[in-house]
């Protein structure tokens, strides 16, 4: 009888521990979803107007959650293979290699080993097609779409100073040579206005540090926001990514007179680091430390843009990855501007529905 009771208590303890670990593991995901819902409800109470929805019908089935856990190390190796194999019959894009690894690791890149990329590329170089390799991977298509939403605009053909190149066509968010300090602060608690978690990444330097457009796109938001102060929001040409730059400088936040719908190119100076925000009154410094808040939202359906199912990702590793590609600046009058000319060919004007190729110049 004694041993039966002892066994019963052991089973109860084991079940309790399993439930506790399950709750702890799910807690960050639950908190992020609840925080986004709380933010939307708070803005509704303030009568903040929602952005007018696109006329295109809402998709019935689209990705509603992405944990982008890809390490800088993995991005480095995948990018190198992408560039080195460009033009070859066995060329595989960076995002495809990372999607393969995502499917292999279940999205957990703490398991990343360079050997896994080496083994994969060795198979490809021995005449095994990449499509054959990933054909039997159950979750490859999911990771290809999810990681593609993050990275599809990162690598491609472009022209810099009149020279055609293939490689990174996105830039570090801080001007070349200025530097910054940062740490992985995604999800850290915030309290202004309402309880919430930090859905961006903060880069610290001095007031006036040039802020750079990471990717080319269209301006969707510009002006004052009580949380972000002077801020600017840029949508990628393929509409999958929304970049949010906040806390720009008091009195002189922007590099030029931007308006919604304007086109900016990757590497352009868009503004200057500051301390504005946390105030319903415009042009107020209520941030303690000069820094740039940059956020990246993924959009698989237009209903996600301003709804409760927003997807924001951790930019710490991406910021470290982009540090190798900086846009250097020069002074023209009272403004800093990019030093090197840059353009992209075959950019589709998604906003206007024009499918003809055109050439954008800075």
CA dist., res. 17 & res. 144, Å (int): 35
Q: Identify the band that residue 16 occupies on the pLDDT scale cut at 50, 70 and 90.
A: low
337 and 251 fall within a common domain: yes
Determine the pLDDT at residue 308.
86
Alpha-carbon span 358 to 263, nearest angstrom: 13
Report if residue 356 sits inside a domain.
Answer: no
Q: Indicate if 41 and 98 belong to the same structural domain.
A: no
**pTM (predicted TM-score):** 0.81
Identify the CATH number of the domain in which residue 326 sits.
Answer: 2.70.70.10
Asked if residue 169 is part of any domain, the answer here is no
Q: What secondary structure letter does DSSP report for 302? A: G
pLDDT digits (tens, 9 = 90+) for 98-111: 999 999 999 999 99
Average pLDDT over residues 113-122: 95
Say whether both 337 and 214 belong to one domain.
Answer: yes
Strand partners, 56: none
Does 318 or 354 have the greater pLDDT score?
318
Is there a domain that residue 170 lies in?
no
d(CA 304, CA 310): 5
4 pLDDT higher than 60: no
Q: Which residues contact 30 (CB under 8 A, 6 or more apart)?
A: none
Average pLDDT over residues 159-163: 95
| pLDDT (tens digit per residue) in 323-339 | 999 999 999 999 999 99
Beta-carbon contacts of 307 under 8 Å, excluding residues fewer than 6 positions away, are 40
Tally of domains within the chain: 3
Same-domain check for residues 126 and 231: no
Instruction: Decide which of 126, 152, 178 is a domain's last residue.
Output: 152
Residue 241 lies inside a defined structural domain of this protein: yes
Among 48-52, 84-88, 355-359, the range scoring the smallest mean pLDDT is 355-359
Task: Tell whether 196 and 277 lie within a shared domain.
Answer: yes
Residues 201 and 324 in one domain: yes
What is the maximal distance between C-alpha atoms in the chain?
90
Question: Would you state the pLDDT for residue 190?
Answer: 62
| Residue 199 covered by a domain | yes
85 in the same domain as 37: no
**Helix H or strand E encompassing 111:** none
Residue 74 has pLDDT above 80, yes or no: yes
Q: Helices 72-84 & 114-125, crossing angle to 10 degrees?
A: 20
Could you tell me if residue 28 is inside a domain?
A: yes
Which of 152, 174, 206 is where one domain is finished?
152
Residue 131 covered by a domain? yes
Structural domain including 6 reads: 1-49
Pairwise pLDDT comparison (355 vs 296), residue with the higher score: 296
218 and 262 part of one domain:
yes
What is the rounded distance in angstroms from the CA atom of residue 49 to the CA atom of residue 38?
16
Of 47-51, 163-167, 342-346, where does the model show the most confidence?
163-167
* Angle in degrees, 0-180, between the axes of helices 114-125 and 94-105, rounded to the nearest 10: 120
Residue 27: per-residue pLDDT: 43
Say if residue 37 is in the same domain as residue 113. Answer: no
- Mean pLDDT within 114-138: 92
Phi, psi of 316 (to 5 degrees): -60, -55
Q: How does pLDDT run across 27-45, given as a tens digit for each residue?
A: 444 444 444 444 444 443 3
Confirm whether 163 is domain-assigned: no
Burial label for 292, CB within 10 Å (0-12, 13-18, 19+), is buried
Which tens digit of pLDDT belongs to each residue from 165-220?
Answer: 999 999 999 999 999 999 887 777 665 555 557 788 999 999 999 999 999 999 99
Which stretch of DSSP H or E encloses residue 326?
Answer: none
Within 138-225, where are the H helices?
Answer: 140-151
Tokens 């080496």, located at residue: 118
Taking the C-alpha atoms of residue 331 and residue 253, their distance in angstroms, rounded to an integer, is: 16
Q: Are 94 and 339 in contact (CB under 8 A)?
A: no
pLDDT at 350: 41
- Is the domain of 227 the same as that of 294? yes
From the list 284, 139, 299, 190, the residue with the least C-alpha distance to 234 is 299
- 230: its two tokens: 């002077």
* CA nearest to 143, candidates 112, 100, 81, 110: 100
**Based on the domain organization, do 231 and 302 belong to the same domain?**
yes
Alpha-carbon gap, residue 302 to 203, rounded angstroms: 29
Surface-to-core class of residue 248, CB atoms within 10 Å of its CB (0-12 exposed, 13-18 middle, 19+ buried): buried
Q: Is the pLDDT of residue 348 over 80?
A: no
Predicted local distance difference test score (pLDDT) of residue 188: 76
**Does residue 36 sit in the same domain as residue 105?**
no
CA proximity to 237, closest of 211, 265, 197: 265
């Amino acid at each position: 009888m004694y041993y039966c009771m002892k066994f019963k208590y052991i089973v109860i303890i084991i079940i309790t521990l399993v439930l506790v670990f399950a709750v702890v593991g799910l807690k960050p995901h639950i908190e992020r979803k609840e925080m986004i819902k709380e933010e939307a409800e708070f803005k509704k109470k303030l009568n903040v107007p929602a952005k007018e929805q696109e006329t295109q019908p809402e998709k019935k089935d689209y990705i509603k959650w992405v944990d982008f856990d890809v390490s800088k190390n993995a991005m480095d190796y995948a990018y190198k293979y992408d560039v080195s194999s460009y033009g070859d019959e066995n060329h595989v894009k960076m995002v495809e290699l990372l999607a393969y690894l995502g499917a292999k690791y279940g999205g957990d890149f703490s398991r990343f080993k360079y050997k896994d990329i080496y083994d994969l590329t060795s198979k490809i170089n021995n005449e095994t097609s990449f499509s054959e390799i990933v054909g039997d991977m159950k979750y490859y298509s999911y990771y290809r779409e999810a990681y593609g939403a993050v990275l599809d605009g990162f690598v491609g053909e472009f022209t810099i100073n009149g020279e055609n190149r293939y490689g990174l066509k996105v830039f570090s968010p801080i001007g070349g040579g200025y530097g910054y300090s940062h740490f992985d602060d995604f999800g850290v608690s915030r309290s202004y206005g309402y309880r919430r978690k930090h859905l961006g990444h903060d880069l610290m330097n001095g007031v006036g540090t040039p802020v750079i457009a990471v990717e080319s796109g269209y301006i969707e938001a510009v002006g004052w926001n009580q949380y972000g102060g002077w801020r600017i929001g840029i949508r990628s040409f393929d509409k999958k990514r929304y970049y949010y730059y906040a806390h720009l400088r008091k009195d002189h936040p922007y590099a030029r007179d931007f308006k919604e719908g304007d086109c900016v190119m990757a590497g352009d100076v868009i503004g200057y680091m500051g301390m504005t925000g946390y105030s319903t009154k415009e042009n107020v410094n209520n941030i303690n430390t000069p820094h740039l808040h940059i956020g990246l939202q993924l959009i698989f359906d237009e209903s996600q843009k301003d709804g409760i199912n927003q997807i924001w990702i951790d930019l710490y590793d991406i910021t470290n990855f982009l540090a190798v590609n900086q846009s250097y600046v020069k002074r023209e009058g009272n403004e800093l501007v990019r030093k090197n000319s840059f353009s992209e060919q075959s950019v589709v004007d998604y906003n206007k529905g024009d499918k003809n190729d055109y050439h954008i110049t800075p």
